[in-house]
A and B are shown apart, each in its own frame.
Chain A
Amino acid sequence: MQKSLHIDPGKCTGCLQCEMACSYEHTGTINPSKSRIKVFDFEHEGRKVPYTCTQCSDAWCMHSCPVEAIVLDAGTGAKVVKEDTCVGCKVCTIACPFGTVNYMADVGKVQKCDLCGGDPACATACPTGAITYKDAEWN
């Protein structure tokens, strides 16, 4: 069974526990600015919307990479950046229609959601069930 992140903005309170968990999982520090999931705040509507990579089946970021630094994790379906291979050319950030591949100036490479190898830290951290990890055919 393929699983995917399922996001229900109606349940999001904007607490940013997901951003903290994501940054800690990948960098060992609590640092929302390094998070691969972002909560957007539509202030005047009172809506908070967590947003991250959809792991497109036909992933343009992966196709566009000139050095094949983005690869499919067959176990999870995640498109994963191989940091050792990435040269920081940013073509993938342009190719992505959703803006969820981001260039990190301090390390000169891109980063994106990798589903934490099948146990996404954001979903575990979410206190309200706004972010869940479940059967991709959920409907």
Chain B
Amino acid sequence: MSWNRKLLRVNLSAGTCTPEALNMKWADEYLGSRGLGTKYLCEEIDPKVDPLSPENKLIMATGPLTGTMASTGGRYTVITKGPLTGAIACSNSGGFFGAELKFAGWDMIIVEGKSPKPVYLYIENDKAELRDAAHLWGTTCWHTEETIKADLQDPLVRVSSIGRSGENQVLFSCIVNDLHRAAGRSGVGAVMGSKNLKAVAIRGTKGVSGVKDFPAFLAATQAAKQVLKDNAVTGQGLPTYGTQVLMNVINEVGALPTRNHRDVQFEDAGKISAEAMHEKRPTDGKAHLVTNAACFGCTIACGRISQLDKGHFTVENKPQYWGASGGLEYESAWSLGASNGVGDLEALQYANMLCNEDGFDPITFGATVSAVMELYEMGVLTKEQIGIEAPFGSAKALAFLAEITARGEGFGKEVGLGSKRLCAKYGHPDLSMSVKGLEFPAYDSRGIQGIGLNYATSNRGACHVRGYTVASEVLGIPVKTDPLATEGKPGLVKAFQDATSVFDAAGICLFTSFAWTLADIQPQLQAACEGDWSMEKLNLVGERIWNMERQFNLAAGFTSKDDNLPPRLLNEAAKTGPAKGLVSGLKKMLPEYYEARGWTPEGVPTAETLSRLGL
């Protein structure tokens, strides 16, 4: 079958790497990647554990479709208890690392304990060993990846690593693979840093051989690829414009959070949009965008490869940033741009490159800078404290803060705490635009009501890729719903959240869901995996994963009070656009959501629900 049936247990305290049989009963119940990895975490750690202590574990997991020719079958997930939120942290990444883990013959790596000194894990097929990383410690993800390839004399080795951000325990650090792909949110990189694990390098030449029915699998993947090709979003919009296609769309909808959610429309949205990335710059006559690029197995290819203007103030005399590199996608263009009122595309890309280079989440970083700028404009923070004048709209302040955050220098240490801790420290906790400590992504809960409910209830905090109702509320996928209405949204949110769990657990990219439903994945899984993978079962697996994560969070100490939004979104009406005069209708939607989930009015899954889901 499509699983390798084998996981690698790495005990950093003891310095051991031990193969272990994969629990196939759990694989049948939780599928893989996000689902199966979370099951292992829930079974193996105390939910109340300090996320940055040796008792926390960090799991890297593939799904049954990872490493196969199923379109986008290159994903892997990092699962741990997150230091930013204290909730379940589960971050998904593309690139080529996940497929390489599968090709080396493993489904999953479980990292436990803490190494007495910096090490990296090297896996070459069945062989796995810990190697000294003293020469890599204190360096960036880019330097680490390059150095490991040179040390091993193997340019084809795939590397996931942390930069100085993860080492310095910046609470929103990523784990970066293939230079500019990342398990990006909720601080998984800080957990890796707390364990003194600098990187995981993998070379796999065994391939995937256990697909249950290869001819049926090829037919199913081929048919599904055609669906992606024929769809306007996955066939044309994403390859041409990337996720950045949304910048102007969401601005028009009146749901582009601007200046720390003070506004819902950004006057310079056009300057930082996909269209702007295609335009030739007056300065050097070149377009910002060089080309699009794919992750492993992806037939959509939404990735952006960009090149900065060498004369821009951010990179003058810094030739290391002049080459083509991973470019802005919608979330980072928003968080670094609109959220801070910065309309300078080149400055956003510079900050984005620093996020990739040193491994920190541009969404939380950008949103934390937004809070800093608001506090600066209120006079709570001063130029002396921050190290620079930091009003909304300052590209210089953005670039400066991006430079000092990963290094933990000066005020960068404060930024590295994330907005919740920073705003609390300076006496204005309400200004942190976050849920459960995780900052919002690029959609305003007043202009798109369903996504607000999803943010409030998402198991890893304010996150769009747990239940992307924007697809329905704005893009009409699979059916159009009114973004300003609250009616029907609890059911919609639940349906998106449960289905997304299955996409993630399968090892494929959520972006396929612009064209695919579970009915498109089902034949691929049925052909790849032993056992029955009916639609009924997939729906049950999705809901089971969601409730398992919920149970973890409840055991960690979260309650229904944490299923909330900041006062700004509940009390301050949108000032412009279609949502003008509206606040979030969360209070109306939440009880209905709990009921739809089979939870008590306190947000706890009932015994009946747990029993139905086999939990």
Contacts and interface: CB of A to CB of B under 8 A. Distances in A.
Interface residues of B, number: 37
A33 interface: yes
Given A13-B293, A44-B324, A28 B214 contact: yes
Contact of B298 (A15, A23, A32, A46): A15
Q: Majority SS of interface residues in chain B?
A: loop
Interface string A40-79: 0001111110000000000000000000000000000000
A60 B593 CA distance: 70
Contact of B69 (A30, A45, A48, A128): A30
Contacts of B290: 45-46
A123 B30 CA distance: 36
A31 B179 contact: no
B301 interface: yes
A52 B68 CA distance: 22
Contact of B307 (A21, A28, A46): A46
Nearest to B322: A44
Contacts of B301: 13, 15, 128
Given A27-B207, A29-B209, A33-B207, A127 B293 contact: no
A28 B291 CA distance: 33
Contacts of B297: 15-17, 20
Contacts of B69: 17, 20-21, 24, 30, 125
B564 interface: no
Interface string B466-497: 00000000000000000000000000000000
A32 B510 CA distance: 24
Contacts of A23: 207
Nearest to B289: A46
Contacts of A128: 301
A14 interface: yes
A13 B307 CA distance: 17
Interface in B257-309: 290-299, 301, 303, 305, 307
A34 interface: yes
A43 B225 contact: no
Given A30-B68, A33-B207, A125-B69, 8 more contacts: A14-B294, A15-B299, A16-B96, A23-B207, A27-B207, A29-B208, A31-B205, A33-B103
27 contacts: A13-B292, A13-B294, A14-B293, A15-B294, A15-B295, A15-B301, A16-B296, A17-B297, A20-B68, A23-B207, A28-B209, A28-B214, A29-B207, A29-B208, A29-B209, A30-B209, A31-B103, A31-B207, A31-B208, A34-B207, A43-B324, A46-B305, A46-B307, A47-B291, A125-B69, A127-B71, A128-B301
